[in-house]
Amino acid sequence: MGAPRRGRRSPREASQDGAGERFERVLLASEGRSISNAAIERVRELSVGEAASARVISIARVHGVPFGLQTPGLFPSKAEWNEQGEIVSDAVKRLRRKGIDADGRVVGTRAAAKRICQEAVATGCDAIVMTADRDRGILIRDFMWSQEPQRVRRRARRAKLPVFLVVG
């Protein structure tokens, strides 16, 4: 077992407002919606000085059900890929203007929460920031794509990554 990484805390230790917390690498994620200025500002607040960096990821949704056969009509169209690419490049530009080194990519998947958490772990991110709608409750949440940030928060507990949702 390796030594614990600096800046990493369990989600129970990390307060939702993140007051006083700083991270070296932050993942700014989107399940397909545009990334708000409040989320960009949140990444800036959570980042550590000049050594801070951010990874921006946006999900191009693959439609369909698990265990189903892949059908070309269920994959994202070129327009959807381009739209998500513009969202990522715009967020990267805004982060760089704030003095944060940033890079980004678009990923196509059916399971956005799982992929976002995998990306955070694979790229060595210490926290995840997402723009989100308010939580709709347990009965409705699993049927709405817009509730994906809530699923990211639940899934990230296993990876011991704090998730900061910016409602707006």
| Domain span at 101 | 28-167
Residue 8 lies in a domain: no
List the CATH number of the domain containing 163. 3.40.50.620
Residue 48 lies in a domain: yes
Residue 100 lies in a domain: yes
Task: Give the number of other CB atoms < 10 A from CB of residue 132.
Answer: 24
Q: Quick one: angle between helices 112-122 and 148-159, nearest 10?
A: 40
pLDDT tens sequence across 50-105: 778 999 999 998 876 666 666 666 788 899 999 999 999 999 999 999 999 999 99
Domain count across the chain: 1
Task: Give the number of other CB atoms < 10 A from CB of residue 39.
Answer: 23
Residue 6 lies in a domain: no
Residue 11 lies in a domain: no
pLDDT at residue 65 in the model: 62
Q: How far, in Å, CA of 130 to CA of 28, rounded?
A: 6
Residue 78 lies in a domain: yes
pLDDT at 7 over 50: no
Residue 135 lies in a domain: yes
Mean pLDDT of 9-38: 73
Query: In this structure, which long-range contacts are made by residues 74-80, counting pairs with CB atoms below 8 Å and at least 24 apart in sequence?
Result: 75/108, 76/108
